[in-house]
Structure 1
Amino acid sequence: MKGSDVLYLSCALLFVPMLIGSFWVHLLQLEGTVNRFLHAWVLGFTTMLAVAQLLLVPMVALQRTLYEAVMLWKILLEVLSVISLILFCGREIQKSGKRDDRGKRQKMTAWTAVIGIAAAVLILLQAYIPARYQHSDDDDARFIAEEVSAVVHGSMYREDTITADFMYWDTGEVRKDLTSPWTMFVAMMAYDGGIAPAVLSHAYLPFFLILLCYALYTLIGQKLFDGDWEKTGVFLILLSVIHLWGYTSTHTLASMILLRIWQGKAVCAGFMIPLFFYLFYRVMRPDYEKRWLPLFYVAAVGACLLSGVGIITTPILLGIYGFVDFCCHRDWKKTLMIFLAAVPCGMYLLYYLR
């Protein structure tokens, strides 16, 4: 791994998402250093996916170049980062002098520390092994070819990935890539960072994306176990064991996370679907905070970028949860807001099927 590549990707996949995610930290009024860090990273990256979807689909349909998309992409990220940082800093300045964390922090026992270290070692091991010894099969050929073609020629979905002949973006299998342009999202990072798309996909993305998935799983553990770090650590260790010994086929969640995480469908399975379950946990109580509802819309649009799996699965998840929530609480306004979050997915699905 080159130091310059690691530095660039640390900014693109960690620092920038955290800056953008600080907007959600401000809006949701989250407390706790670790809690705010994890939420900023997870929600910031989700916002980046949604923005990329809203940018890339019309850019591809209008037959614009990747270079133009990268320029607009960087402008949008800069604007979002500045706005988020201003709001976050303003809130922190207002709260300075008023915050009193004494007595609120959970005391860490020796056993909690041991469990935390064990979980961290297992998670880092899972992130390092795929990045260092990436397994690849033939399924990656078309995705890498699309990324290389975009970086080299500047065109998005205009060359046949098998024959290299000119074609329109709505031809054959590439037609579904218009509504889920994950490969162009990767190509933008590859072009902007000067990294070969194959190297980015196989060596760098697994490391960052696996850590991102476990950041989300940590939030889920904290929610399930009411902020108990010891139980959350055991939960993460259990997940790690399941993933490390779960390679029974190429379609298990373990395979998606550890072997195929650089593919959009794997990010959808390992990150986006668990994110929806986490959001469901946040709003399932009758006295839920309405500030969490906009995230359903952001996550739904972001899921569309990843894969057709996201376009189809998201409305199913939202529909089932909305129905169950209405049966439990009879809050039709909340149910309607949840159902409406599936509208973007329906629009992309209808466009693909037309």
Structure 2
Amino acid sequence: MGILMLKLFFIPIFLFILCGTVGFAINKVAKLEVKSCYIIGLVFFFGMTFVISTPFMLFNLRFSTLYALIIGIYGIVLTASIGVLFYNIGNVCDICREKCQEIIGDRRRCCLYIILFITILFQLFVIVYYQHGDIDDSYYLAQVNTYISTDRLTGIDPASGLTYLKSSSQYSLVGYEVLLAVLKQFFRTNTAMLAHTIWPVFALVSHYIVIWKLAKCIDDRYAIELSITYSLITIFGGWSGYTQSSFVLNRIWQGKAVFVALFIPILLWYFAENYNNKARKRDIVFIALILLAGISTTTVAIYLYPIMYFCLWCGKFIDTRNIKETLKLCCPIIIILPWIAAKLMFMYKDKLNGLSTYDIVTDGADNLSYIAQLMDRFLSGHSSMLLLFIAALIIIAFEGCRRDRGLIVYPVICLGITFANPLLIGFVAKYITGADVYWRIFWLLDMPIVFTMAIYIIIKTINDKNHVALAFILMDLAVIALGQSIFENGSWAKRENVYKLDQRTVDIVDVIHADANGNENTLLLPEELSYGVRELCGDIKVPVNRYSKSTFISNGEEQKYNALENNLIIPLYTDQNWNIGTLDDSLRKFDIDYLVLYTASLTANDISDNMECIYQNDEYTIMKYKKS
């Protein structure tokens, strides 16, 4: 526990220093004139990792080589950045001193900072101390362990670890899990512990730094109040499990949640800060790096981020009517086209069982219902939230300034006319988003930001400071009353262990590791116990997992899966009644080294002479299978 606490503080602090220092140096050297060095560093951290790892993912090169290259490059960059920082240390200290004096000198603002700090600290405490599992991690985090254990970035199905099963190209060219693998190796920590306990501290604090900077762009006078309001909207955004707020607090360690938490607001922040500025060449390169950093986090970002950029681009043009500047802003999309083209090439050409990934993800697109995707899925039936959202847009449209309309209202209208148009759902789902994840296009409505902006616009019309404070309090109370706390949705519980995984799975893995002496093994166990195995380690293969059936079938191994199901899964775990001869043959066929059986099933069945009990409790028994 002491080592965990040390890593819990040290790793996020190291990453904060890395992003802040590198961002400061880039801002100074490149003269970006951006007001947030930390965001620059954050974009560089994600974007450059993706750029460096791209050829390794394309050509399936060794992870160990990539790891050495990334550590070497970042080592040089960090060393140079520290040099730039120390060269300007006098100015940095003066700025920090002025900021501290400004905060301390204003009691009201100081109290507001404390309130903001408490709301963020509360979220951090719940996320770190409590456990909220998501079985999707049995694939995503398994990728991290697969990269390290196989020393390859593509080719092997991560959920099982079986070499004869190929990974889906749907998850190719995603750099986020590569970044986690680099951090795991560098800090010598467990993947599940890194993702579930340590990473959320860095990611959530970074999220609120971005929101803070966005609030300062909106109105520096009310930046703290806006941040507090946004924080409360996030906490009480649990009325649906599919909103930005739910993803930010429920699964901040997943790439799609990182995209929602960091890169959607970063792009909005950049447009807000540079709304009236002319785009220089260095600015265009930086925007391209923002886009690359965003699409590196998750597969869905490959279309969501360009769509968001297009909508912001349209919004700015509608407001400014500046054709020259608008054309300049097309250049970042041109820069990232090779990555988009490579991703599309993988999805169209790579075939599993005769079907391309494109065919698989677009299946059912013609039958999608817009109402079902928006109302039933995204909003979980809370139509009142849609009405509040429309009301908020109307407030911004009629009471906000030109920039507010260009950043919020026009982009939402553009989205509704184009990619989120109910009349075009079949086309968009079939050729752009895919069928199962079409609803994620509604993330681009950015409802928490829109609600926050509407509250700000209402309150800024009040002249009396005391009345402003009262109005913010009343609005925040309304947010609490209308919303539902994400932490009270029944899916949070006190953590069982530092990995935040089923303790039974952790115990099973520990027993096998103790017996196997570092050798790779194949483990057969019930699906309910399988989810955390590949999250914990990459040296244990699991034929039975959440994705077994679809993975075997997509790889053209349907007959093999039927044998697995009929000869092992059903007899051992469903019927709990097996034939010892068939069982022996099947265990050899699937090269099983260890198997987990329900203890209650042992009394009614014969046990093979090739099985040796190495652990037993009232619920399950772990057997070592001797194949010789």
Instruction: Give the TM interval when normalised to the shorter protein.
Output: 0.7 to 0.9
Matches within 5 A, 1:11-22: 11-22=13-24
Pair 1:253-2:244 in alignment: yes
Q: Could you tell me how far apart the structure 1 residues matched to 2:122 and 2:98 are?
A: 34
The answer (yes or no) to whether the contact 1:66–1:151 under 8 Å persists in 2 is yes
2:255 counterpart (248, 261, 264): 264
Q: Which amino acid aligns with 2:51?
A: L
Q: Which amino acid aligns with 1:142?
A: Y
Q: CA deviation at 1:81?
A: 2.0
Pair 1:281-2:278 in alignment: no
Distance 1:269 1:109, change over 3 A: same
2:161 counterpart (164, 169, 187): 164
Q: Which amino acid aligns with 1:237?
A: I
Map Cα deviations across residues 107-145 of structure 1 (whole Å, 9 max, x no partner).
843222211101101011112211221301211110111
Pair 1:74-2:68 in alignment: no
1:307 counterpart (282, 291, 298): 298
The residue number in structure 1 matching 2:108 is 111
Matches within 5 A, 1:44-83: 44-83=41-80
Q: CA deviation at 1:213?
A: 0.2
Map Cα deviations across residues 244-264 of structure 1 (whole Å, 9 max, x no partner).
111123211111111111111
The residue number in structure 2 matching 1:146 is 143
Distance 1:101 1:131, change over 3 A: closer
1:135 counterpart (112, 128, 132): 132
Q: Which amino acid aligns with 1:176?
A: Q
The answer (yes or no) to whether the contact 2:141–2:192 under 8 Å persists in 1 is yes
The residue number in structure 1 matching 2:209 is 215
Q: CA deviation at 1:55?
A: 1.4
Q: Which amino acid aligns with 1:61?
A: L
Q: Could you tell me how far apart the structure 1 residues matched to 2:141 and 2:194 are?
A: 10
The residue number in structure 2 matching 1:194 is 188
Q: Could you tell me how far apart the structure 2 residues matched to 1:260 and 1:317 are?
A: 22
Distance 1:89 1:82, change over 3 A: same
Distance 1:154 1:342, change over 3 A: same
2:312 counterpart (299, 309, 321): 321
Distance 1:101 1:187, change over 3 A: closer
Alignment TM-score, normalising by the size of structure 1: 0.85
Q: Which runs of 4+ in 1 moved over 6 A?
A: 93-97
Q: Could you tell me how far apart the structure 2 residues matched to 1:7 and 1:119 are?
A: 20
Q: Could you tell me how far apart the structure 1 residues matched to 2:77 and 2:123 are?
A: 32
Q: Which amino acid aligns with 1:315?
A: P
Q: CA deviation at 1:14?
A: 1.1
The residue number in structure 1 matching 2:339 is 348
What is the total number of aligned residue pairs between the two structures?
339
Q: CA deviation at 1:94?
A: 8.7
Map Cα deviations across residues 272-298 of structure 1 (whole Å, 9 max, x no partner).
01000000011211x457464432111
The residue number in structure 2 matching 1:296 is 287
Q: Could you tell me how far apart the structure 1 residues matched to 2:9 and 2:123 are?
A: 21
Pair 1:10-2:4 in alignment: no
Distance 1:297 1:88, change over 3 A: farther
Q: Could you tell me how far apart the structure 2 residues matched to 1:11 and 1:275 are?
A: 21
Alignment TM-score, normalising by the size of structure 2: 0.50
Distance 1:29 1:303, change over 3 A: closer
Q: CA RMSD in A?
A: 2.9
- Higher-Rg structure is 2
Q: Which amino acid aligns with 2:191?
A: P
The answer (yes or no) to whether the contact 1:265–1:309 under 8 Å persists in 2 is yes
Map Cα deviations across residues 213-242 of structure 1 (whole Å, 9 max, x no partner).
0001111111111x22xx222212211211
Q: CA deviation at 1:167?
A: 5.7
The residue number in structure 2 matching 1:335 is 326
Q: Which runs of 5+ in 1 are unaligned?
A: none
**Once the two structures are aligned, what percentage of the paired residues are identical?**
17
Map Cα deviations across residues 43-90 of structure 1 (whole Å, 9 max, x no partner).
212101011111122112222222211111111112222333444444
More strand by share: 2
Q: Could you tell me how far apart the structure 2 residues matched to 1:92 and 1:9 are?
A: 24
Map Cα deviations across residues 155-186 of structure 1 (whole Å, 9 max, x no partner).
22332123322268xx553x132221311211
Q: Could you tell me how far apart the structure 1 residues matched to 2:197 and 2:10 are?
A: 14
Map Cα deviations across residues 274-324 of structure 1 (whole Å, 9 max, x no partner).
000000011211x45746443211101111210123221222222222233
Distance 1:8 1:109, change over 3 A: closer
The answer (yes or no) to whether the contact 1:159–1:167 under 8 Å persists in 2 is yes
